[in-house]
Amino acid sequence: MPHRKDEKTRDITELIVKAGEKARRETRAIPEPELTRPIEWPVSCTVGPGLEGAIACETKIGYVNGSKGWLIYRGYDIFELCAYSTFEEVSYLLLHGNLPTKKQLAEYNKKLVDSRNLNNTMRLFMNYPVEGMNAMSALRLGTNLMRHELTYIDREEYKPNLDGVIGSDEDSIPMETKPMGEKDAIYGFKRIKMNRPFKGVNPELHPAAGAESCNHLVSGVATIAAAVARLKLGQLPIEPDPELSHAANFLYMMTGCRPSPVEERIMDVALILHADHGMNASTFASMVVASTLSDMYFSVGAGIAALNGPLHGGANEQVLYMLEEIGNPGNVKKWVKKSVKEKKKIMGFGHRVYKSYDPRARVLAPLAEYLVKKDSSNHNLLETATTLEKEILDTIGTKKKIFPNVDFYSGIVYACMGILPENFTTIFAVSRVAGWTSRILEYLENNRIFRPRAMYTGSFEKEFKPLEKRR
Ligand code: CMC
């Protein structure tokens, strides 16, 4: 069962505790924003472009205090969760509302262990050209295949019976292009009968919107992300080891090597840090999909798609490329001057909600430093990053309240662990799937389809011209 292996990673705990103390010292006096009370609908709020300031729902799951730079999951401070808990405990906390007892954790862990093995999904997955795909696109495909395998919706027995439509000499299925030699193959569905009437479902399968599919996704997205990393290198996926924790398994399935306690711990902390973060774009995207009463797998797919963008989770990969482009600390000043002049967005800086230092960056920065002290091969990368941070804060940062965000140091941490940048954003998804699924479950309790409006600024009463008269 996952537990804190404090003996071998005590210095990591100490770094996190210190970072937490510093954060509290520096931010305690900053006033609270007024975003912590029940809503009486309809609610009045001032909304900016990109729905800035809009209140979409109530939640008990997590709170981002952007003025102070505090992050809370279900009432617990992020620094304490990083210092003393595991991803298993934190994902349970997000999904269930309380930290698990030993017994609850053991039961939950068993579900995660069972769900980690996705042999059938993996068999399907390997029929696709994953090696040439963008990692997030492959992850989204894999999530779709999980849906196919784990829910009753697409099961063989509920699929149309194609006998009688395709001749025995034809191994093709009905398609828009008429198969050779098959007279009645196109649009033949009207003649198809169901294999079995759609009555009742196999209880071992899932209603695709329920709590079990959350466990499957929290566990299985990691298996797929690890397989994506391997397939992209031309290596075969590795089966999980039931004795390893979620973080250790993820690293093991990705690299083929059982991680050291330090590597396991750092990945665990990274997963805890990224697990939930208010109504961010990917969480909102997944909730919008869920609010239509689509299912958990489709919703998580939407979350993955939104997370991929460089303004959101995709920034962690871009930070690495940016630091490589800068090259060394000596180039930072000139690079920043040019970027500011060209009004370029500096990857890994700024946040819609945090107008102070992102607490996740407060944890990741000392972890990056710790890893570089152990192995100096990424020394230049880290020096370039810290010099860039100082330069941004000295120039535009403090004035515009643009501080390093979670993506600024996470990539350096992953790079120090030998992970390729193309896989950075999938790690974010491996963690955030806990937040997506928790918030969807919570929202579905009082579901109302998301349906904002746009202000129409187009014209009216235009005269319709037939095609031939248009210029
Ligand atoms: N570099 C340079 N200027 C910036 C940056 C940045 N990274 N971020 C914000 N600004 C400036 C922006 O130009 C604007 O200046 P002005 O008022 O003079 O026009 C001001 O700060 C306010 O910024 P904004 O664009 O209105 O902020 P936003 O809330 O719309 O965008 C953001 C937030 C995260 C998309 C943006 O800060 C950004 O593009 N950052 C870089 C990408 C990044 O690191 N994303 C990861 C976000 S954290 C993890 C996650 O949630 O995925």
Q: Look up residue 168 and give its two tokens.
A: 């025995």
Residue ranges of domains in the chain: 100-311+426-444
pLDDT of residue 188: 37
Q: How far, in Å, from the CA of 246 to the mean position of ligand 1?
A: 32
- Residue 34: its pLDDT value, please? 76
- Closest Cα to atom 21, ligand 1: which residue? 400
CA 353 – CA 70 distance, rounded (Å): 11
Question: Pick from 275, 246, 231: which is nearest to 428 by CA?
Answer: 275
Question: What span, in angstroms and rounded, lies between the C-alpha atoms of 405 and 256?
Answer: 31
Separation between Cα atoms, residue 425 and residue 47, nearest integer Å: 29
117 in helix, strand or coil? coil
How many whole angstroms from 403 Cα to the centroid of ligand 1? Answer: 10
For 105, 329, 467, the CA distances from 140, given in Å and listed in that order, are: 28, 37, 41
280 Cβ closer than 6 Å to some ligand 1 atom? yes
Burial (CB count <10 Å: 0-12, 13-18, 19+), residue 307 = buried
Instruction: Ligand 1 pocket test: pick from 51, 319, 349 the residue with the most ligand atoms within 8 Å of its Cβ.
Output: 349
H or E element at residue 73: strand 70-73
Ligand 1: residue whose CA is nearest its atom 3: 345
Of all protein residues, the one whose alpha carbon is nearest to atom 12 of ligand 1 is 345
Nearest to 452 by CA among 308, 303, 291: 291
Query: What is the distance in A from the centroid of ligand 1 to the CA of 309?
Result: 13
Write the DSSP symbol of residue 468: G
Q: Measured in angstroms, how far is the CA atom of residue 111 from the centroid of ligand 1? A: 39
Catalytic center residues? 312, 351, 407
Span 341-394, pLDDT tens digits:
999 999 999 999 999 999 999 999 999 999 999 999 999 999 999 999 999 999
User: Treating both helix axes as pointing N-terminal to C-terminal, what angle do 424-444 and 281-291 enclose, rounded to 10 degrees?
Assistant: 40
Rounded-to-integer distance, Cα 105 and Cα 266, Å: 21
Ligand 1 mutation pick, 352, 396, 424, max ligand atoms within 8 A of CB: 352
Pocket mutation for ligand 1, best pick of 277, 311, 403 (most atoms within 8 Å of C-beta): 311
- Ligand 1 neighbourhood includes 347 CB (under 6 angstroms): yes
* 50 pocket-lining for ligand 1 (C-beta < 6 Å): yes
Indicate which residue's Cα is closest to atom 32 of ligand 1: 351
Task: With beta carbons less than 8 A apart as the criterion, state whether 133 and 141 touch.
Answer: yes
Protein residue with its CA nearest to atom 15 in ligand 1: 400
Domain 100-311+426-444 coded CATH 1.10.580.10: yes
The CA 389 to ligand 1 mean position distance, Å, reads 15
Give the span between the Cα atoms of 115 and 127, in whole angstroms.
Answer: 21
Ligand 1 atom showing the smallest separation from residue 350 Cα: 37
pLDDT tens for 311-343 read: 999 999 999 999 999 999 999 999 999 999 999
Cβ 351 under 6 angstroms from ligand 1? yes
Q: Give the mean pLDDT per block of 10 residues along the chain (471 residues).
A: 70 97 93 85 92 95 95 98 98 98 97 94 93 97 85 54 45 44 41 44 52 92 98 95 97 96 97 98 96 89 98 97 98 97 96 95 98 96 98 94 96 96 98 97 90 94 96 90
Q: Residue of the nearest CA to atom 31 in ligand 1?
A: 352
Spacing, Cα 350 to ligand 1 middle (Å): 4
Find the 420 Cα to ligand 1 centroid distance in Å. 25
314 in ligand 1 pocket by Cβ < 6 Å? no
Distance between CA atoms of residues 238 and 235, nearest Å: 9
How do residues 258-291 score in pLDDT, each as one tens digit?
A: 999 999 999 999 999 999 999 999 999 999 999 9
Q: Which of 345, 388, 431 for a ligand 1 pocket mutation test, highest count of atoms within 8 Å of Cβ?
A: 345
